[in-house]
Amino acid sequence: GNSVTQMEGPVTLSEEAFLTINCTYTATGYPSLFWYVQYPGEGLQLLLKATKADDKGSNKGFEATYRKETTSFHLEKGSVQVSDSAVYFCALSDDKIIFGKGTRLHILP
Protein backbone atom coordinates (compact mmCIF):
# COMPACT_ATOMS: atom_id res chain seq x y z
CA GLY A 1 0.00 0.00 0.00
CA ASN A 2 0.90 3.65 -0.11
CA SER A 3 3.23 4.98 2.54
CA VAL A 4 5.32 7.98 3.54
CA THR A 5 8.69 7.94 5.28
CA GLN A 6 10.20 11.08 6.74
CA MET A 7 13.31 11.77 8.74
CA GLU A 8 12.98 11.29 12.45
CA GLY A 9 13.37 14.18 14.79
CA PRO A 10 13.75 16.12 16.76
CA VAL A 11 15.70 18.50 14.58
CA THR A 12 17.31 21.39 16.43
CA LEU A 13 18.70 24.38 14.55
CA SER A 14 19.79 27.90 15.30
CA GLU A 15 17.82 30.81 13.93
CA GLU A 16 18.71 31.67 10.32
CA ALA A 17 20.07 28.18 9.64
CA PHE A 18 19.16 26.22 6.50
CA LEU A 19 16.53 23.54 6.95
CA THR A 20 15.97 20.27 5.12
CA ILE A 21 13.46 17.64 6.23
CA ASN A 22 13.58 14.56 4.04
CA CYS A 23 10.45 12.78 2.83
CA THR A 24 10.12 9.80 0.50
CA TYR A 25 6.99 8.02 -0.55
CA THR A 26 5.75 4.75 -1.97
CA ALA A 27 2.65 4.88 -4.11
CA THR A 28 0.92 3.30 -7.02
CA GLY A 29 -0.17 5.89 -9.51
CA TYR A 30 0.56 9.58 -9.23
CA PRO A 31 -0.45 10.99 -5.87
CA SER A 32 -0.55 14.58 -4.77
CA LEU A 33 2.01 15.43 -2.11
CA PHE A 34 1.65 17.72 0.89
CA TRP A 35 3.46 19.14 3.85
CA TYR A 36 1.29 19.85 6.87
CA VAL A 37 2.43 21.69 9.99
CA GLN A 38 1.20 21.47 13.56
CA TYR A 39 2.17 24.40 15.78
CA PRO A 40 2.08 23.91 19.56
CA GLY A 41 -1.49 23.75 20.78
CA GLU A 42 -2.97 24.07 17.30
CA GLY A 43 -4.54 21.80 14.72
CA LEU A 44 -2.94 20.47 11.54
CA GLN A 45 -2.78 22.94 8.71
CA LEU A 46 -1.55 22.72 5.16
CA LEU A 47 1.86 24.28 4.58
CA LEU A 48 2.31 23.53 0.86
CA LYS A 49 1.39 21.05 -1.83
CA ALA A 50 2.40 19.74 -5.27
CA THR A 51 0.11 17.83 -7.56
CA LYS A 52 2.37 16.47 -10.28
CA ALA A 53 5.98 15.62 -11.01
CA ASP A 54 8.43 18.56 -11.00
CA ASP A 55 5.89 20.86 -9.37
CA LYS A 56 7.30 23.05 -6.62
CA GLY A 57 5.08 23.96 -3.68
CA SER A 58 6.00 27.00 -1.64
CA ASN A 59 4.64 28.98 1.30
CA LYS A 60 6.08 31.13 4.13
CA GLY A 61 9.61 30.67 2.74
CA PHE A 62 9.30 26.87 2.69
CA GLU A 63 9.67 24.92 -0.56
CA ALA A 64 9.36 21.32 -1.70
CA THR A 65 9.69 19.83 -5.17
CA TYR A 66 7.82 16.72 -6.35
CA ARG A 67 10.55 14.38 -7.58
CA LYS A 68 9.04 11.35 -9.28
CA GLU A 69 12.40 9.79 -10.18
CA THR A 70 13.50 9.66 -6.55
CA THR A 71 9.96 9.47 -5.08
CA SER A 72 10.83 12.35 -2.79
CA PHE A 73 9.31 15.60 -1.54
CA HIS A 74 11.93 17.15 0.72
CA LEU A 75 11.01 20.29 2.66
CA GLU A 76 13.51 23.18 2.64
CA LYS A 77 13.80 26.66 4.03
CA GLY A 78 16.76 28.95 3.58
CA SER A 79 16.61 30.76 6.91
CA VAL A 80 14.48 29.42 9.74
CA GLN A 81 12.91 31.49 12.51
CA VAL A 82 11.99 30.66 16.08
CA SER A 83 8.35 30.82 15.02
CA ASP A 84 8.93 27.84 12.68
CA SER A 85 9.22 25.54 15.68
CA ALA A 86 6.51 22.94 15.13
CA VAL A 87 5.90 19.38 13.98
CA TYR A 88 5.99 18.86 10.21
CA PHE A 89 4.17 16.03 8.46
CA CYS A 90 4.72 14.83 4.93
CA ALA A 91 1.62 13.32 3.32
CA LEU A 92 0.34 11.90 0.07
CA SER A 93 -3.11 11.58 -1.39
CA ASP A 94 -4.43 9.55 -4.26
CA ASP A 95 -7.76 8.99 -2.56
CA LYS A 96 -7.38 9.06 1.22
CA ILE A 97 -4.54 11.02 2.79
CA ILE A 98 -1.61 9.07 4.27
CA PHE A 99 0.77 10.82 6.69
CA GLY A 100 4.33 10.26 7.75
CA LYS A 101 5.19 10.08 11.45
CA GLY A 102 6.16 13.71 11.69
CA THR A 103 9.39 15.59 12.39
CA ARG A 104 9.61 17.90 15.39
CA LEU A 105 11.60 21.05 14.67
CA HIS A 106 13.14 23.23 17.41
CA ILE A 107 14.63 26.57 16.45
CA LEU A 108 16.92 28.19 18.99
CA PRO A 109 17.20 32.01 19.14
Partner 1 sequence: DTGVSQNPRHKITKRGQNVTFRCDPISEHNRLYWYRQTLGQGPEFLTYFQNEAQLEKSRLLSDRFSAERPKGSFSTLEIQRTEQGDSAMYLCASSLEVGSTEAFFGQGTRLTVV
Query: Number of residues in contact with partner 1, rule: CB under 8 A?
Result: 23
Q: Does 100 bind partner 1 (CB under 8 A)?
A: yes
Q: Residues 66-95 vs partner 1: string with x where CB under 8 A?
A: -----------------------x---xxx
Which residue of 19, 25, 34, 66 would you call a contact of partner 1, by CB under 8 A? 34
Q: How far is CA 101 from the centre of its chain?
A: 11
Q: Does 28 bind partner 1 (CB under 8 A)?
A: no
Half-sphere exposure of 39 (CA within 13 A, CB side): 7
Phi, psi of 34 (to 5 degrees): -140, 155
Which lies closer to partner 1 via its Cβ, residue 24 or residue 93?
93
Q: Is 59 in contact with 48 (CB distance < 8 Å)?
A: yes
Q: How far apart are CA 9 and CA 21, in angstroms?
A: 9
Determine the length of the chain.
109
Q: Does 65 bind partner 1 (CB under 8 A)?
A: no
User: Which of the stretches 18-26, 36-44, 68-76, 78-86 binds partner 1 when contact is defined by CB under 8 A?
Assistant: 36-44
